[in-house]
Structure 1
Amino acid sequence: MKNTLGLLLVGTLGALAAPAQTKRSAGPPPAARDVIAPVGIVKNLSDSALLDVVQRQTFRYFWHFAHPVSGLARERDNTVRAVYYWDYINEADDSPNLSTATFGPEACAIGGTGMGVMATVVAVHRGWVSQAAALHRLTKIVDFLAKADCYHGIYPHFMNGATGKTIAFDRIDDGADIVETSYLLMGLLTAKAYFNGTTLPERYFQKRVQQMWAAADWNWHSKGGTAALYWHWSPTNDFQMNFPVVGYDEALITYIMAASSPNHPISKELYENCWVKNPGWRNGKTYYGYELPLDTYDKGGPLFFEQYTYLDIDPNGLTDNHGIDYAQQTRNHTLINRAYCLENPKHYKGYGANCWGLTAGDSYKGYVAHCPSVDLGVIQPTAALSSFPYTPAFSMQVLRHLYYDLGAQLWGPYGFADGFSETRNWYAKTHLAIDQGPIVVMIENYRSGLPWRLFMGDPDVQKGLARLGFTSKRAQR
């Protein structure tokens, strides 16, 4: 069943596929105007001008550091062994907790690629690159993915950007990943909505995306039942990972995408059984005066919980039939995270009103899902910057501090480095696709709401939200 998408596309694209043989459908290659030069620290910028600089420079990660063969987003820009910590750890614990992986220049992130696609839409909207160059790049990506490893329409977490072959995360995680695929397809549907014209390049891209969207078999990951949706499937290890998609966490978008599928939608019963009825879904406690409706981590988990799903899902006016207000959820989780950093119970250097934000990212111990429960004194720039839609004034305080006060240590050709600890005088040299992408996209949601507007306007998405019991004000506009 592997690479079912590629087989599907051969017979379905029909007349639109033929022009691709001459490359006319992909548009012209990037011209000189589409080369984005990096800039250093510029003094006395207005808030709007500073947002321009940060978004634009961060986008360079996806535009100039993308894999040259496929256009996919590389996982990270260092090629050393990365240690991934998933369990609770503390400063004194120097032993790896769960997983290590070696990433070279060929390793690309499927979820990060979806975020890069969203960022490319922002880049065209802001005039950093031309529509022709963007369509050329995006078509290159979908054409590559049509021939790459794909399992029942679902892509792996990591992929070789030159060959399209799966890069195993670990011994038994060597196949499909529905959460990463949900970010990829979220980005592609957003781009499809933006490039919605009738020119041949646009029609070709639209058709490619629609075929990928139609081929994704989300129900395969339910094992044919309604008890659970499983994160991973492998052609050699089947469902041996045995990892249900439970929350509350960054995987809410996976249920929304799965319920929105035109050909393989999951049922509300599956969503209720695996997601809503999970003991880790509802919180209801109050921290620092802010009620946290969802997420049973003490004082909330890492901030990417409130960013990945909401790259394209607008939480404003979004409610469900369980009484959850997602605008309250996203804002209050962010405010709790900030309030914890201001309290600073471990007395780390640097924490304060202009320096807060705990989320997953690189640290002096490897990649860690930082949060109040796992606080190592490491701040990720993406945490506060990707919170602009929720806390614009507070996020701007952090942005100005990072740029003007810490820019010498953090600012580089792809924007801000991934993390830092002033207590340990440690500053990352790395950038990660899944941290850089949300900076570009969430700042744009704050500025114009474009990504939210494009994705929430998709009829399939509106049907999926309704199927799961969500109500959105955007559906009424």
Structure 2
Amino acid sequence: MNDDLETLQRETFDYFIHEANPANGLIRDKTEANWPASIAATGLALGCYPVGVKRGFMSRKAAVERTLATLRFFWNSPQGTEPDATGHRGFYYHFLDIETGRRAWRCELSTIDSTLLLAGALAAGAFFDRKTKVEAEIRTLADALYRRADWRWALNKGKTVTHGWTPETGFLKYRWKGYDEALLLYVLGLGSPTHPLPSSSYTAWSATFRWLHAYGQDYLYAGPLFIHQLSHVWIDLRGLQDTYMRDKKSDYFENSRRATLVQHRYALENPRGFDGYGEHCWGITASDGPGPSTIKLKGIERRFLDYAARGVPFGPDDGTLAPWAAVTSLPFAPEIVLPTIAFWIHKAKLKSTRTYGFASSFNPTHPQGKAKGAFGWWVSSWHFGLDEGPVVLMIENVRSGLIWRLMRSCPYIREGLQRAGFEGGWLEQLPHTSLSVER
């Protein structure tokens, strides 16, 4: 299985080598022709380059060059209210033209995607620690980019952080509400030495959480599996408890384990009767899909979605599964993830003809594209940077804990966690390394 993990990690890592503009470091959002770059994918790439160096996927020199090109681009790119700028107030637009680096598609300035970009920068700054001019510049730029983000502005005078802003209409009406990937956002925002969020913003966000009992588990609910993973990609939350989790006598790592077990049990019980669901076919999250369409199959009218945030147990669920989501749960439940990976590699052949590891998603129920999968499954034609990065990083966290160690060394992460009320875990002592599947 170690060979399977290493091969999967290496092939997935290649996305960030080939779907990139080396001149500015921007990473394409997905593999479709003429598609723009994503700042979230670019942030994940910054976290993946240290993995590439450690595993021999790229040289340290090449990783330094790519990282420095990325950080220089974001530091020097235009910030302001112009509609074609790259960012504003230290945040950046969700999609950027991969050649020019300017805003694409009149998209929003995204607080969460900017968070992922800044997390990648901080990880890079922690990894490239040599006393050379170029690595010192990486550390300086990573720190400067993080310090420039105006988290207080992103509150828009409210209690919680907004999803984003556009120069045409101002702040979006949506705020971070309910348990979601914004855990990382609040930690970075609270830890800022220049424009920090108030601790009250974290309290207001966590007050919107929903505790749920489903499929034998009591856990903090979020439907799509990625929500239980993205913050954990960067922060080792084993044994760390805030006020909410102390009250529940749990922690966010254990919560993600329970959410993974709910997903697995849901697939076994398969309440909506989709084809293929079972012990080794599970993982429902935000992903590409075969729709939009409505088709009557076996006397049942099925509505299929395209790209959507699918979730468990309340849906939406149209029979689409995402291998990357299952793989990214490896730290939480290796006893069910490892056999699933082996099944998809050796039996389902979901990797045998793919460029970057596993297919991004598949749907055994949908009749279209029968020739694309070994069992007649619809299989997505695209790979997505937001899917590839967590696979590389979470496999590495299980193999060596690299990203978690890098972020534990970042004083801003420690400060943000403490201001959010977290105690225990590595904040008091280093955690055990019993997750490792390598010896």
Same fold at TM > 0.5: yes
CA contact (8 A) 1:403 1:411 kept: no
Shift of 1:401: 1.3
> Residues of 2 paired with 1:409 and 1:176: CA distance?
35
**DSSP 3-state at the match of 1:463:** helix
Equivalent in 193, 196, 210 of residue 282 of structure 1: 210
Equivalent of 1:306, from 224, 228, 236?
Answer: 228
The match for 2:100 among 163, 173, 177 is 163
- Counterpart pick for 1:232 among 155, 164, 178: 164
Q: Is 1:131 matched with 2:60?
A: yes
Shift of the 194–409 alpha-carbon distance from structure 1 to 2, 3 Å rule, reads: closer
In the TM superposition, what is the alpha-carbon distance from 1:336 to its structure 2 partner? 0.4
Structure 2 counterpart of 1:53, which letter? T
Within the candidate set 409, 416, 438, 1:457 is matched to 409
Cα contact 2:22–2:66 (8 A) shared by 1: no
Residues 193 and 220 of structure 1, relative CA distance in 2, 3 Å threshold = same
Report what 1:15 is aligned to.
none
8 A Cα contact 1:147 1:164, kept in partner: no
Instruction: Count residues with an aligned counterpart.
Output: 391
Residues 303 and 358, structure 1, Cα contact 8 Å, conserved in 2: yes
The question of whether the paired residues in 2 share the 8 Å contact of 1:215 and 1:263 is answered with yes
Q: Is the 8 A contact 1:214 1:263 kept in 2?
A: yes
- Distance in 2 (CA, whole Å) between partners of 1:410 and 1:243 is 41
1:320 and 2:242 equivalent? Answer: yes
CA contact (8 A) 2:124 2:138 kept: no
The aligned counterpart of 1:66 is 20
| Aligned pairs (5 A) from 1:423-442 | 423-424=365-366, 425-442=377-394
Matches within 5 A, 1:79-98: 79=33
Tell whether 2:127 aligns with 1:198.
Answer: no
Deviation at 1:410, TM superposition (A): 6.1
Contact 2:282 2:321 in 1 (8 A): yes
* Separation (CA, whole Å) in 2 of partners of 1:350 and 1:70: 42
Kindly provide the CA deviation profile for residues 352-406 of structure 1, in whole angstroms up to 9, marking residues without a partner as x.
1111111111110221112221111111011110000001121111111111122
AA of the residue aligned to 2:278: G
How far, CA to CA, are the matches of 2:13 and 2:70 in structure 1? 17
Aligned residue in 1 for 2:173: 242
> Which of the numbers 245, 259, 267 marks the counterpart of 1:333?
259
Does the CA contact (< 8 Å) of 1:142 and 1:209 recur in 2?
yes
Local SS of the residue matching 1:233 = strand
1:6-85 to 2 correspondences below 5 Å: 47-79=1-33
Between the aligned partners of 1:353 and 1:315, the Cα distance in structure 2 is 27
1:236 CA drift (Å): 2.9
Equivalent position amino acid for 1:156 in 2: Y
CA shift at 1:199, angstroms? 1.0
TM-score (normalizing by structure 1): 0.79
Structure 2 residue 185 is the aligned partner of structure 1 residue 254: yes
Aligned mates of 2:8, 2:253 — CA distance in 1: 25
| Paired residues of 2:350 and 2:359 also in contact (CA < 8 A) | no
- Is the counterpart of residue 367 in structure 1 residue 307 in structure 2? yes
Q: Does 1:176 align with 2:109?
A: yes
Aligned with 1:150 (options 60, 65, 87) = 87
Q: Percent sequence identity over matched residues?
A: 34
Q: Is 1:394 the equivalent of 2:336?
A: yes
Q: Give 1:368's aligned amino acid.
A: A
Please report how far the alpha carbon of residue 226 of structure 1 lies from its aligned counterpart in structure 2 after TM superposition. Answer: 4.9
CA distance in 2, matches of 1:305, 1:408: 24
8 Å Cα contact 1:410-1:417 kept in structure 2: no
Residue 409 of structure 1: CA displacement?
Answer: 6.9
Tell me how far apart the structure 2 counterparts of residues 350 and 410 of structure 1 sit (CA, whole Å): 19
Q: Could you tell me whether the CA contact under 8 Å between 2:128 and 2:135 is conserved in 1?
A: yes
1:207 maps onto 2:140 in alignment:
yes
Task: Tell me, yes or no, if the aligned pair for 2:254 and 2:332 is still in contact at 8 Å.
Answer: no
Question: Out of 197, 212, 220, which is 2:153 matched to?
Answer: 220
Shift of residue 420, structure 1, vs aligned partner: 0.5
SS of 1:429's partner is: coil
Q: Which runs of 5+ in 1 are unaligned?
A: 1-46, 80-103
- Secondary structure of 1:155's counterpart equals strand
- 1:113 maps to 2:46: no
Secondary structure of the residue that 1:163 maps to in structure 2?
Answer: coil
Question: What TM-score do the two structures reach when normalised by structure 2?
Answer: 0.86
Bigger mean CA deviation after superposition, 327-336 or 343-352: 343-352
The amino acid that maps onto 1:139 is: L
Q: 1:126, 1:445 → 2: CA distance?
A: 13
CA distance in 2, matches of 1:330, 1:319: 13
SS in 2 for 1:50: helix
Matched with 1:354 is: 280
Which residue of the partner structure matches residue 371 of structure 2? none
Letter in 1 for 2:288: D
Residue 202 of structure 2 corresponds to residue 271 of structure 1: yes
Q: Which amino acid aligns with 2:309?
A: A
Any idea what SS the aligned residue of 1:135 has? helix
> Which amino acid in 1 is paired with 2:151?
W
| Alpha-carbon distance in structure 2 between the residues aligned to 1:199 and 1:68 | 21
Q: CA deviation at 1:472?
A: 4.0
How big is the shift at 1:233?
1.7
Deviations 1:138-159 (A, max 9, x none): 1111111123212011111111
Whichever residue aligns with residue 286 of structure 1, its letter is: H
Using the alignment, how far apart are the partners of 1:157 and 1:472 within structure 2?
34
What 5-or-longer segments of structure 2 have no aligned partner?
Answer: 78-85, 292-305, 367-376, 430-439
